[in-house]
Amino acid sequence: MEKKVKIKINGKEFEVDSEKSILQAARENGIYIPAICYSDRFGAIGACRICAVEIAGMKKPMLSCAAKVKDGMEVTTNSPALDQLRREIIYEWDTFHPLQCGVCDKSGECELQNINYEFNITENPKEAQTDPLSIPQGTIHYEWKIIHHDANLCIQCRRCVAVCDKVVNFGILALVKKDGDRKEIDTKDGKPLDCEFCGQCVSVCPTGAMSSKLFKYKARAWEMEKVPTTCGFCSSGCQMDLNVKNNEILRVTSEEYTPNMANLCNLGRFNYSVSKSDRLIKDYSLNSKTLNQEAMLLELSQILKNTPKEKIFGISGARETHEDNLAFKMFFNNTLSNNNIDSLSSTHIGKLYKYLPQSVNTLYDFSDISDANLIICFGGDIANEMPRIDWSITRGAKLLKTSKVISAYWKDTKIDTLGSIPLRYEPGRELDFLTSFAFALKSEGYGAGLDGLDSLTGSEFDVSSIMEEVKKASNIAFIVCQEALERSNGEEIAKAVSNIALLLKDKIKVYASSKYNNAFGALYNNYGSSNEFSIQRLLEFAKEGKIETLILLNADLFSFLSDNEAKIVRDSVKNIVLFDTFESKTSLIANAIVPVPFFTSQSGTFINAEGRVNKINKAIECNVPCAWEFLFKLSTNLGYNLSSAKLQLKDKKITLNGPADKIYTINTNSSVKGDGEFVFIANYSKFRTSVYSGYGEGAKLAQSQSVLHISKEDAQRIGLNDGDIANIEANGASIALPVKIDEQMPKSVLAAQLWFENTNPYNITGGFNNLVRANLTKAQGGLK
Amino acid sequence: MLFKDLRKGLSVTLKYLFTHAVTCQYPTQRLNVPERGRWLHALNLHEESQKIKCIDCGLCEEVCPSKCIEIIPTENEDHTKSPAIYNIDLGRCCFCGLCVEVCPELAISMSDKYELAGYDREKFVFTKEDLIKVGIEYNNKLQKKEGAL
């Protein structure tokens, strides 16, 4: 356990952890030491030097952020000498810092302003001594996307460099030499910024040097009201504040005390303009006719009354609030007394938690990932699926240096730069890794006494490189990515993961990633529990004429089916009733459309991948009621009163039901659809979690269209260059995509991202599948 | 003394009969307003570039006790900031002059225009264009005055 030591700060004695720095120890005990460059998010940098303190026995002041506490240490945090030292530093920063606080977006929350105010600095002897003409002009990067950098305002604390490297693990920013001795923050290669555009650098910058272009000159810091809420773009459940002025979200910020430590990704931080998209659905409409709410309620209840109850089906998009999600389930189970309902979480995590035994299906906090000795990331590029898990891995492996990383995937990804042990399988051969791993665990004696151990068989896949680490580790975080679970053999993969979890029972924590923000809420509400109907059987049921009325709650058919399949559903279902926030291809074909407010316009809860029940708060007014209110009214019209008291969730953290401990037999005979020369994978971009997430400025600017990732070798062979349009053909369908040569792509593998408006990769893979063998040709006619 | 009070009173009356009248015959006649009087606001332009001085620092908006100033900023082509909309609702304004005092750019001042009555509440909202016009007129007047001196 952690050792405690006694130290004296300003004459008072404290007992603190020996691992802590003086600054941390002082802060914990309410003693203030000024610090500019330090943040718990990335640890000590030692650039600002303002946190220097005097330690008895030391000649020179020491940096309290970097110096660890020692037993018997005597620290003085304030003295005339220290004050002078700190003043000298501030004078240096202030020297010809442009006096544009009047227009600077940081003004009002600027740490340079604050520290000047704190030290009551009204004049600067350094500035008087300096020749104004000798001050070099810093670069202002107008050409960067989304992020604005003005080197003149920079005080070179290197926070942005640290956060980019140690939190985001992207490391594009550096303090680079410009002409002469001068240094400036810039990209390492000097090219315009091309990164994840997460804006972490903006969030840590103490001055206005790094700022958001989307927020530039929009409002002053003090004019906005901060509404705390939960991000609705993936199941990470990051806590953030919507900064609202005049009923409009102008920016998104987050605080360091949140579980996500103020870290937000591109979607969370910059994609707030989705909330005022011109594609918001505002009106109730029936067969393209606009109605008011009462008329719509009447018409809908008529439609539902005219449909036999067993012919009404429902699909939840797992993106609505917990309340909407539960009300939808209650509406089917109680009002319509059927269970013809499923959610989109059944396309991935639903499979896993169907098989994962109760004893290992606890949902753990992401902070536990950073504390694990060993992190196994399997089946996807986690940085693209859930950036917050990626940051947790980075924190454990790079910052705290407590974790080793194993990445099992078909491609090198960002987490491999953390010095991971790479395990590379061919795409579609996930089971090889999982079964081999389970077999190796069994051979090592794990899971002794479990029934069905004999059924475990290995494969040729070599996992010997990781067994040493697995044996050593006492605390393993096993992350299952959505991509693997979305494969057509996702159920077998889920079973294989369950086996591993059970074998490593006492030391494993299983995490699953989901791009659907309330996917875990849908699991909690027992979606996917029907024995007859599941979302995978939607097409089959529709073709057989079993569905007369299909109700979709925030579920865009084209975001999980191919265009063709969606058309079949459309043609074979009489009424499609869509509850949705945004216009989509589905809203064009639906008979009845009921608007639902965006998460920024309603209060409720989301359940994230940690099982936490996170609150969302209404930040902007809209005159559309929540889906649950509408459903309750509809239910009353149909003669059944639903009780809103049931919607309230009292727990702070949920648990899921799972089966009893069981070793599953895995069917490894999976065949990949199609017979092309390439393997095509539909995976995810970190800039989309749904089609509508592309309606916001931040995501659109970061990545405007889906691109085809291809290895250099393959591209050369076919004669493709960056930006050329390529046709990918499989299953008798084809899609056209611009090409991006990606050095990390293996040979004969192609990948394109889902949920972009330029194409629907499900057209060639088919729904509920993301892998297909395909042929690739260069599109004739060159660029479009 | 007989009729002492009457005589005293009459003398005052008689004196005023022959002195100059103090009543200003408004509206045919107008008083000169004091130089530092707080009347209608004016937005000022830079003399050379004829661009608005206001940089939308938002201080007047913040300091205004009756919250009658509304500014919506915009970014110009040269990356400077200026107001796209600058409204003062005189129906709410209490003419305290704090906005003038707080302005770091001397962009807002007060003119000598005091006749602000109207029949329509909406017309009390003075826009950026209105206020700039006031500024130009008032500054021209001041210049003329200086020239005359």
Q: Is B94 annotated as a binding residue?
A: no
**pLDDT (average), residues A131-139:** 84
Q: Is B68 annotated as a binding residue?
A: no
DSSP-derived 3-state class of residue A155: coil
Residue A423 has pLDDT above 60, yes or no: yes
Residue A365 has pLDDT above 60, yes or no: yes
Give the H or E element holding residue A604.
strand A604-607
**pLDDT (average), residues A403-426:** 95
Query: If we measure between CA atoms, which residue out of A83, A99, A158, A97 comes closest to residue A126?
Result: A97
Which residue of B58, B74, B105 is in closest CB contact with A223?
A: B58
Give the H or E element holding residue A580.
strand A575-580
Which residue of A103, A140, A216 is in closest CB contact with B57?
A: A103
**pLDDT (average), residues A736-741:** 96
Minimal Cα–Cα distance from B87 to chain A, Å?
Answer: 15
DSSP-derived 3-state class of residue A782: coil
**pLDDT (average), residues A625-650:** 93
Residue A12 has pLDDT above 90, yes or no: yes
- Give CA separation, A720 vs A323, A711, A733, in Å: 49, 10, 21
Going by the DSSP 8-state scheme, the letter that residue B129 receives in this structure is H
A223–B79 C-beta distance less than 8 A? no
Residue of A nearest to B71 (CA): A219
Task: Write down all domains in chain A, each with its CATH number in brackets.
Answer: 4-78 (3.10.20.740), 99-106+130-273 (3.30.70.20), 284-346+526-647 (3.40.50.740), 350-512 (3.40.228.10), 678-778 (2.40.40.20)
**pLDDT (average), residues A466-495:** 95
Residues in Cβ contact with A414 at an 8 Å cutoff, skipping those fewer than 6 apart: A169, A170, A381, A383, A390
Residue of B nearest to A150 (CA): B79
Give the H or E element holding residue A114.
helix A111-118
- Residue spans of the domains in chain B: they are 33-148
Work out the burial of residue A337: count CB atoms within 10 Å of its CB; fewer than 13 is exposed, 13-18 middle, 19 or more buried: exposed
Provide, as residue numbers in chain A, all residues whose Cβ is less than 8 Å from the Cβ of B70.
none
d(C-alpha A660, C-alpha A26), whole Å: 49
d(C-alpha B60, C-alpha B46), whole Å: 19
d(C-alpha A353, C-alpha A361), whole Å: 7
Residues in Cβ contact with A289 at an 8 Å cutoff, skipping those fewer than 6 apart: none
pLDDT of residue A136: 81
Query: If we measure between CA atoms, which residue out of A427, A387, A389 comes closest to residue A408?
Result: A427
Minimal Cα–Cα distance from B128 to chain A, Å?
Answer: 18
Q: Is A478 left (phi over 0), alpha (psi -120 to 50) or beta?
A: beta
Please report where in the chains the tokens 């509508």 appear, as a residue: A692
A217–B56 C-beta distance less than 8 A? yes
Strand-pairing partners, residue B70, are B87
Residue of B nearest to A214 (CA): B75
What residue type is assigned to position A770 of the chain?
Answer: N
A103–B55 C-beta distance less than 8 A? yes
B79–A142 C-beta distance less than 8 A? yes
Give the H or E element holding residue B85.
strand B81-89
Give the H or E element holding residue A515.
none
Residues in Cβ contact with A319 at an 8 Å cutoff, skipping those fewer than 6 apart: A232, A344, A516, A517, A518, A554, A690
Provide, as residue numbers in chain B, all residues whose Cβ is less than 8 Å from the Cβ of A107.
57
Residue-wise pLDDT for A239-259, tens only, equals 999 999 999 999 999 999 999
List the structure tokens of A38.
Answer: 């330090």
List the structure tokens of A222.
Answer: 């003090």
CATH number for the region B33-148 comes to 3.30.70.3270
Residue A599 has pLDDT above 60, yes or no: yes
List the structure tokens of A9.
Answer: 């700060």
What residue type is assigned to position A521 of the chain?
Answer: G
Count of Cβ atoms closer than 10 Å to residue B64 Cβ: 20
B57–A217 C-beta distance less than 8 A? no
Mean of the per-residue pLDDT values for chain B?
92
pLDDT of residue A784: 44
Strands A575-580 and A592-595 turn out to be parallel
B58–A220 C-beta distance less than 8 A? yes
Minimal Cα–Cα distance from A279 to chain B, Å?
Answer: 24
pLDDT of residue A403: 95
Q: How confident is the model at residue A348 (pLDDT cuts 50, 70, 90)?
A: very high
Q: Mutate which of B72, B79, B105, B106 to disrupt the A interface (most A C-beta within 10 Å)?
A: B79
**pLDDT (average), residues A472-486:** 96
Instruction: Give me the interface pTM, i.e. the ipTM.
Output: 0.84
Minimal Cα–Cα distance from B81 to chain A, Å?
Answer: 7
List the structure tokens of A232.
Answer: 């609705």
Minimal Cα–Cα distance from A171 to chain B, Å?
Answer: 28
What residue type is assigned to position B44 of the chain?
Answer: N
**pLDDT (average), residues A182-199:** 94
| CB-defined contacts A:B, below 8 A | 31
Provide, as residue numbers in chain A, all residues whose Cβ is less than 8 Å from the Cβ of B55.
102-103
Residue of A nearest to B105 (CA): A102
Q: Is B60 annotated as a binding residue?
A: yes
Write down the H helix ranges in A344-429: 349-355, 367-371, 382-385, 387-394
Q: What is the DSSP annotation of B14-83?
A: HHHHHSPP----TTTS-PPPPTT---SEEE-B-TTT--B------HHHHH-TT--EEEEEEE-TTS-EEE
Whether the CB-CB separation of A19 and A63 falls below 8 Å is answered with: no
B73–A217 C-beta distance less than 8 A? yes
Minimal Cα–Cα distance from A218 to chain B, Å?
Answer: 6
Q: Where do the DSSP E strands lie in A500-572?
A: 508-512, 549-553
Strands A12-17 and A725-730 turn out to be unpaired
pLDDT of residue A437: 96
Which residue of B57, B75, B79 is in closest CB contact with A102?
A: B57
Residue A576 has pLDDT above 60, yes or no: yes
- Give CA separation, A696 vs A280, A602, A757, in Å: 11, 19, 13
Whether the CB-CB separation of A38 and A23 falls below 8 Å is answered with: yes
Mean of the per-residue pLDDT values for chain A?
94
Minimal Cα–Cα distance from A223 to chain B, Å?
Answer: 8
Q: Is B96 annotated as a binding residue?
A: yes
Lowest-confidence pick of A105-114, A573-582, A639-648: A639-648
A223–B61 C-beta distance less than 8 A? yes
Whether the CB-CB separation of A519 and A235 falls below 8 Å is answered with: yes
List the structure tokens of A194.
Answer: 């091309």
Q: How confident is the model at residue A1 (pLDDT cuts 50, 70, 90)?
A: low
Q: How many percent of chain B have pLDDT more than 70?
A: 99
Whether the CB-CB separation of A146 and A213 falls below 8 Å is answered with: yes
pLDDT of residue A96: 84
Residue of A nearest to B74 (CA): A217
Q: Where do the DSSP E strands lie in A367-507?
A: 374-378, 404-409, 421-424, 476-480
DSSP-derived 3-state class of residue B133: helix
Q: Is A448 left (phi over 0), alpha (psi -120 to 50) or beta?
A: beta
Q: How many percent of chain A have pLDDT more than 70?
A: 99
Q: Is B93 annotated as a binding residue?
A: yes
**pLDDT (average), residues A445-464:** 90
Provide, as residue numbers in chain B, all residues whose Cβ is less than 8 Å from the Cβ of A102.
55, 57, 59, 104-105
